[in-house]
Structure formats: C-alpha cells, structure tokens
Amino acid sequence: MPIKVLVAKPGLDGHDRGAKIVARALRDAGMEVVYTGLHQTPEMIVTAAVQEDVDVVGVSILSGAHMTIFPKIMALLKEHDVDDIAVVGGGVIQEADIPKLKALGVREIFNAEATTQELIDGIERIVGETGRDRSRREAGAAR
C-alpha cells in the first residue's frame, strides 16, 4: 500500500503555496495525499488524520503560531491513541524552535530549502521507522 499523507494547514494564515506543491510532489511520487485546505483547527486536523487513516501528517505553518499549534496536535493524537502517526512540519519555523518541536515528538521540520526529493526520502524513512502497518488499510480495516 502506498504511504498515505495528510497535508494540513492549521491556523489562520493563507500561505498555501508550499503545502500545495508538497501535496502534488508527494502524489507524483506515488503517495496517497489528502489536503485539508486552509484554516484548520488542531481538532479538525487530528479528526481528518484518524478518519483518513494516514501514516503521516505534514503540517505547514507560516504564521508564527507553530509553538501553539504543534503541542495541541501532538496531544490530540495521543488522546486519540494514534500517536504512531508521524508528524512532520514545514513553513517558516525558526531554527531555535526546531529542538523544542522535536522534543514534543515532531519527527522532522522541512524548511524552505528542502527539495521535494529530500521530502519524499524523509517521509519514506520516517514511515519505515514508525513501522506502521499499512496492510490494514488494504484489508479495508477502519479504525
């Protein structure tokens, strides 16, 4: 089964160029991609991740609210008992905040310099590490 990714745009900021390019590049690389659209709350993102049964949530945020939004997403994933879903991030995230985000359990932050190939390789590696069983989806198992 292909890796399934939820590309998510939380908060109020409308900078979706990167999110859309990432969504298309991952799709072109053979992954299954769901894009949430803009202005999602952490609750909406986690609900979508559970319903779509994704392997990865990619959060794109350029508003500066990342230190408010990532902790909420991580806590909600835990609450829903799906913290095996890997969370990665991108956007405008200052260097100093990256260790803090990783300490929260965010697997990787891809900054604006990351190439789409680095992104694809990174996501494949991370999904390999989480060892999420994707065959369930094939069997039609829903959570």
Partner 1 sequence: MQTTEKTIADEQREWEQLTLLPFTARRPESREAFRTQGGAVLERVYTPAHVADIDFSRDIGFPGQFPYTRGPYPTMYRAQPWTMRQIAGFGTADDTNARFRFLIAQGQTGISTDFDMPTLMGYDSDDVRSEGEVGREGVAIDSVDDMLDLYAGIDLEQISVSMTINPSAWILLAMYLVVAEERGFDRTKLSGTIQNDIIKEYVAQKEWVYPPRPAMRIVRDTITYSAQHLPRYNPVNVSGYHTREAGSTAIQEVAFTLAAGIAYVEEVVKAGIDVDDFAPRLSFFFVSQIDFLEEVAKFRAARRVWARAMKERFGARKPESMRLRFHCQTAGVSCTAREPLNNIARTAIEALAAVCGGAQSLHTNGYDEALSIPSEPAMKIALRTQQIIAEEVGIGGTIDPLAGSYALERLTADIEKGCFDYFAEVDKRGGVVKCLEDNYFQMELADAAYDLHRRKEASERHIVSVTKYRDDSANPVVELHHADEGAADRQLARLRKTKAARDANAVSRALDEIVRVAKTDENLMPATIAAVKARATGGEIVNALRPVFGTYVETPVF
By the rule CB under 8 A, 44 interacts with partner 1: no
User: Would you call 2 helix, strand, or coil by DSSP?
Assistant: coil
CB closer to partner 1, 3 vs 132: 3
Tokens, residue 60: 């794109």
Q: Tell me how far, at minimum, the Cβ of 79 lies from partner 1, in Å.
A: 18
By the rule CB under 8 A, 73 interacts with partner 1: no
By the rule CB under 8 A, 30 interacts with partner 1: no
Enumerate the β-bridge partners of residue 109.
Answer: 89
Residue 110 backbone dihedrals phi, psi, to 5 degrees: -100, 115
Residues 6+ apart with CB under 8 A from 13: 61, 62, 63, 65
By the rule CB under 8 A, 37 interacts with partner 1: yes
By the rule CB under 8 A, 67 interacts with partner 1: yes
Residue 117 backbone dihedrals phi, psi, to 5 degrees: -65, -40
Q: Which of residues 105-124 bind partner 1 (CB under 8 A)?
A: 111-113, 115-117
User: Would you call 133 helix, strand, or coil by DSSP?
Assistant: coil
Q: Tell me how far, at minimum, the Cβ of 106 lies from partner 1, in Å.
A: 16
Closest CA to 126 of 74, 97, 87: 87
By the rule CB under 8 A, 99 interacts with partner 1: no
By the rule CB under 8 A, 38 interacts with partner 1: yes
Residues that bind partner 1 (CB under 8 A): 7, 11-17, 19-21, 23-25, 33, 35-39, 41, 63-65, 67-69, 92, 94, 111-113, 115-117
